[in-house]
A and B are shown apart, each in its own frame.
Chain A
Amino acid sequence: MEPWRYSPAADIDSTLPERFRSFPREPHLWMYVLRFVAALVMRTWVRIWHRLEIHGAEHLPQDGSFVLVCNHQSHLDMPCLGAALPISWIHRAFPAVAADYFFNNGPRSAFFAIMINALPFEREGDTDQSLQLCRELLQSDGNILMIFPEGTRSQSGSVGRFRSGIGRLVEGSDVLVVPCHLDGAHRAFPKGAVIPRPVKLKLRIGEPRDYSAHQTGRETVAQISRDLESAVRALGIGAPSKTQKYRARTPKNARNSPGRRLPGSRGSRDTVVMAPPVSIWIAGDVCDNPPVTNNDTLRRVRYAFDFSDSKMMQLFELGGREVSRAELSDWLKRDDNPDFQPCSDVVLATFLNGLIVDRRGRREGPQPEPETRLNNNLVLTKIKIALSLRSEDLVEILQLAAYGISQHELSAFFRRPGHRQFRECQDQILRRFLQGLQIKYRNQDPPPPTD
Chain B
Amino acid sequence: MPEFAISADPIFGTYALWVGTLLAIAGVILFVLGTLLKRDVSQVWLTYRGWLIMIPTLFGTVMLGRTASVLGVAALSVVSFKEFARATGLYKDWWHTCTVYLGIAGLAIATLLPDPTTGANGWHGLFRTMPVYVIALLMIIPVIRNKTDGQLQQVSLSIVGFAYMGWMFGHLGFLANSPHFHGYVAYLIFAVEINDIAAFTFGKAFGKHQLRSNVSPSKTVEGALGALAVAMALPWVLHFSFPHFGTTELILTGLIVGIGGQLGDLTLSFIKRDLGVKDMGQSIPGHGGFLDRVDSLIIVGPLFFHMDRWFHGI
Q: Which residues of A contact B (CB under 8 A)?
A: 4, 6-9, 12-16, 18, 26-29
Within 8 A of A (CB), among B206-254: none
B34 within 8 A of A: no
B277 within 8 A of A: yes
Nearest residue (CB) in B for A408 is B282
What is the count of residue pairs linking A and B with beta-carbon distances less than 8 angstroms?
Answer: 46
B279 within 8 A of A: yes
Interface residues on B, range: 20 to 34
Within 8 A of A (CB), among B61-104: 86-89, 91-92, 94, 97-98
A22 CB → nearest B CB, Å: 12
Please state if A9 and B87 are interface contacts (CB–CB under 8 Å).
Answer: yes
Please state if A6 and B88 are interface contacts (CB–CB under 8 Å).
Answer: yes
Which secondary structure characterizes the binding site on chain B?
helix
A119 CB → nearest B CB, Å: 21
Given contacts A27-B92, A29-B94, contact A8 B277 (CB under 8 A): yes
B258 within 8 A of A: no
Q: Which residues of B contact A (CB under 8 A)?
A: 86-89, 91-92, 94, 97-98, 153, 274-279, 281-283, 285
Please state if B153 and A15 are interface contacts (CB–CB under 8 Å).
Answer: no
CA distance A8 to B273 in the complex (A): 12
Given contacts A6-B275, A6-B276, A29-B98, contact A12 B91 (CB under 8 A): no
CA distance A26 to B91 in the complex (A): 9
Please state if B87 and A8 are interface contacts (CB–CB under 8 Å).
Answer: yes
Please state if B89 and A7 are interface contacts (CB–CB under 8 Å).
Answer: yes
CA distance A7 to B154 in the complex (A): 12
Please state if B278 and A8 are interface contacts (CB–CB under 8 Å).
Answer: no
Nearest residue (CB) in B for A18 is B282
Please state if B279 and A16 are interface contacts (CB–CB under 8 Å).
Answer: no
CA distance A14 to B279 in the complex (A): 10
Known: A4-B153, A29-B97. 5 other contacts (CB 8 A): A6-B87, A8-B89, A8-B277, A9-B91, A12-B86
CA distance A13 to B282 in the complex (A): 6
Interface core residue of A7, A12, A13, A29 (most chain B CB under 10 Å): A12
Please state if B275 and A8 are interface contacts (CB–CB under 8 Å).
Answer: yes
Please state if A8 and B88 are interface contacts (CB–CB under 8 Å).
Answer: yes
Residues of A within 8 Å of B277, CB to CB, are 8, 12-13
Residues of B within 8 Å of A4, CB to CB, are 153
Please state if A8 and B282 are interface contacts (CB–CB under 8 Å).
Answer: no
A260 CB → nearest B CB, Å: 27
Interface core residue of B89, B98, B276, B279 (most chain A CB under 10 Å): B89
Nearest residue (CB) in A for B85 is A9
Please state if B282 and A15 are interface contacts (CB–CB under 8 Å).
Answer: yes
A128 CB → nearest B CB, Å: 28
Please state if B89 and A14 are interface contacts (CB–CB under 8 Å).
Answer: no
A134 CB → nearest B CB, Å: 24
Please state if B87 and A13 are interface contacts (CB–CB under 8 Å).
Answer: no
Please state if B279 and A15 are interface contacts (CB–CB under 8 Å).
Answer: no
